[in-house]
Each structure stands twice: as C-alpha cells, then as structure tokens.
Structure 1
Amino acid sequence: MTAVGNLRVETRANAGRGASRALRNQNKIPGILYGGDKENVLLAVDPRDVLKGLHQAGFYSTIFELNLNGKTEKALVRDVQFHPVTDNPIHIDFWRVSKDSKIHLSIPVVFINENKCPGIKRGGVLNIVLHTLDVTCLADNIPEQITVDLEGLEIGASVHTASINLPKGVAVTHLERDSTLATIVPPTVQTEGAAGSSESSASS
C-alpha cells in the first residue's frame, strides 16, 4: 500500500540563484514541482521535514500531499541536491503523480526471519547485495518495502529477484532481472591457535 506523507511547503514567485540564496537565508529549501499537464510550480520547503524524511526508509517512494494555496497536489520526491561541504539539502524536486500514473522507482528491501534461518544459526552471515530494488507500479500501488523471507535458508543459499513474492501490480525493472538480493555466506572466524601458527611461521 502506498505510503502518504506531508511536507510543509509554500509557493514562491522568484527563480534564479539570488532568489534561492535569499530563501536559504530564511531557513527554507528552494524546490520545484513539475510533471503532468500542468505548469511547473516554484516551492519553498521546510528543511526540518526534509531532514526528518531523509533519515527514514522509503522517503523517495512516499506520495506527499502538498498543500499549495488551498489545493492539494500529490507528488514524489524525484531528487534532492546537497551542499558539497555541509551536506545539507539545498534543493528538492517533486514530480506530480495521479492514481493512474505508472512510475519507476527504487523500493527498500527488508529481510525477515533471520532467527528462523538455519544457515545463520550455524554461524553463517547474511551478505546483502541489494538494499533497494528498482520496480514499476501504479502510484496507488507503491509498496513501502520489498520483504524477503530468510526462513529455511542454509549456508551457501542465495535469494534472487525471480524467487521473491512481489505485491500485485509491481514488476521488477532492475538491470538484471534475476539479480542476487542476498547470500548466506560461511563464517570466516580464525581460531587463536591457527592465528598463532601463522604468526610463528611469519616470524621464522
């Protein structure tokens, strides 16, 4: 089910570097809303909402309801630009969506049931290859996450995109259709005796 969020935004009249700099001096982030058959709208965004969202999973796959002069526009965050030194957000792009919009985006991958994974219980380690998965779906059907069940997997087992259960209406568009999501790799713990022997050999 599509996650819905809210960001405090205002419309602004002036564009350009000078206007953006003045806006940042007022502790606001310049932004733009584009897409659909409507005109672009210049925005001023509350940085506290953006910073909070960036620290939460699914920020880029959340539909935000933007209240603009009494009208609500639904949009996805398409891009956030950051300052090269401070790493603070300095610009944000929103893309309009409707319930019938077919969109391409990255969804977080979440692994469950590690406690029911025989390979991990025997000392194996979960090696995650993909933390997100590229998919296409309708705007009303964006999954908050892709869930991968580790129950029953032994050491050496791998999970591939072709073997996971995707929500209805969601299709993988990753570069490799059968990409490896994760592998249960063997433990690589070295015993103290073996380590000591290696050191003795090295010093002799």
Structure 2
Amino acid sequence: MTEISAIVAELRDRAGKGAARATRREGKVPGVIYGGKQDPICIAIDPRVIWAELHKPGFKTRLFDVDLAAGGKHRCLCRDVQFHPVTDQPVHIDLMRVSADAVVHVKVPVHVINADKSPGVKAGGVVSLELHEVEVTCAPDLIPSEIVIDLAGKDVGYSVHVNDLGLPAGVTPYHVGAKAGVLTIVPPTVKGGDAESTEA
C-alpha cells in the first residue's frame, strides 16, 4: 500500500504572478491543485511543511491528503516543486488530484543496497547504474516507494534488466523495454602499464 501523508494548506483567492508574489511575501509557498476533471485550485503551503516532506523518502511517489479546511480534502501526487535559483527555497508546488480508479505515471527511484557485500565490488568492480529511476503506470494505491536491488553475493558481470525487477502485480514499466539495462557490475579498469606487465 502506498504511503499517504496528510498536509494542511490554505486556499488562495487569486491566481497569477502578482498573487503568487504576495503569497511569498506572507512567508508561504504558492501552489496549485489540478486534474481529476475538476477546476484548478490555488493554494498556499507553509514552506516548513514542504521541506519536511522533501526530506522523507519517495517524495514524488507518495500520496498526499491535502486538507484545505472549508475547501475539503484532496488526494494528490506531487508533480513538481520549483526552487529559487539562489536560495534554493521552494517557490511553487504543483499537485495533481488522483482518484482510486485512476492510472498514474510515476518515476520510481532505484535504490542499491549491500554493495559492500558484493564479491565483485570487493574485487574492484564498479556498479554502473544505468537507470536511476524507472517510470511505471499503476493505480495510485499500488505506487512502489522505491525499487531495491540487492548486490549481496553478486560478482563482476552481474546485471539487472527491467524484467528482473520483480515489480508488484498491477505495476507496469512505461516507455522502457523489458530488456533495458538497469544495473551492471563492470570489471575494474586496467591501466595500460598493468596490462603490458600482465602480457609480459
């Protein structure tokens, strides 16, 4: 089951750049909730709430129940957060409504574990991660928080393709072939001098 986080936001009565700047002057982050065959809603969120959620794993694979008080609750996925180019503070957030019967496209991060227990890595092999995230389609409550690849006991030459990931039932890769490479443990690079010595 996908994790659901509850956050509180406020309704904004106006859209546009001027209204967004006014919201920022008040110390809030402007945003919008859209989709779900409903009209967009302009919102404002405390930046501390956004930072707290950003520092939790799987920010863009978790569902959010956004409580707007009089505006009701909206179940959403975060589609984008824009940051100030100098201060790195969040300046805008886009949230997309989802319903239980919807099919969503989500990029799920790939997480590698136990590289220190891999004989191939211990021998100098290098973990080449070709896909840092895999885009999938599924129902909102089936979104994986991450895709884990365990390298314990794996040697040089070990490789993982999309069809090896063991995605949960109902979760389908999108825009990537089943044979697409995700990870490989490649041999260590041999310097020219070492190679010549070996041949001699």
Q: Which runs of 5+ in 1 are unaligned?
A: 195-204
Partner Cα separation in structure 2 for residue 4 and residue 78 of structure 1: 15
SS of residue in 2 equivalent to 1:24: helix
1:19 and 1:101 map into 2 onto residues whose CA distance is 32
1-structure distance, mates of 2:99, 2:67: 15
Contact conserved, 2:162 with 2:181, CA < 8 A, in 1? yes
What SS does the corresponding residue of 2:33 show, helix, strand or coil? strand
Q: What CA distance in whole angstroms lies between the structure 1 residues aligned with 2:39 and 2:48?
A: 27
Does the 8 Å CA contact 1:161/1:177 hold for their aligned counterparts? yes
Q: Percent identity?
A: 45
Q: Give distance in 1, aligned partners of 2:161 and 2:27.
A: 45
Choose 1 or 2 for highest CA Rg: 1
Do residues 163 (structure 1) and 149 (structure 2) align?
A: no
Deviation at 1:115, TM superposition (A): 4.2
Q: Which residue of 1 aligns with 2:35?
A: 35
2:3 corresponds to which residue? 3
TM-score, with length taken from structure 2:
0.87
Please say if residues 133 and 174 of structure 1, whose CA atoms lie closer than 8 Å, have aligned partners that are also in contact: no
Which whole-Å CA distance do the structure 1 matches of 2:3 and 2:175 have between them? 22
Q: d(CA) in 2 for partners of 1:183 and 1:174?
A: 21
**1:177, CA displacement in angstroms?**
3.6
Give distance in 2, aligned partners of 1:149 and 1:26: 46
* CA shift for structure 1 position 9: 0.8
Q: Could you report, residue by residue, the CA deviation over 1:45-75 in whole angstroms, capped at 9, with x for unpaired residues? A: 1111212322333111110011112522100
Q: Report the Cα offset of residue 189 of structure 1.
A: 7.2
Determine if the alignment matches structure 1 residue 144 to structure 2 residue 159.
no
Cα distance between partner residues in 1 of 2:60 and 2:115: 27
1:199 maps to what in 2? none
1:134 equivalent to 2:122? Answer no
Report the TM-score when normalising by structure 1. Answer: 0.85
**What's the offset of the Cα at 1:23?**
0.6
Aligned residues: 194
Structure 2 residue aligned with 1:79 = 80
Question: Which segment is superposed worse, 63-72 or 181-190?
Answer: 181-190
Measured in 1, the distance between the counterparts of 2:52 and 2:143 equals 21
Query: Any gaps of 5 or more consecutive residues in structure 2?
Result: 195-200
Give the CA deviation at 1:172.
0.7
Preserved contact between residue 129 and residue 181 of structure 1 (Cα < 8 Å): yes
Aligned CA RMSD, in angstroms, stands at 2.2
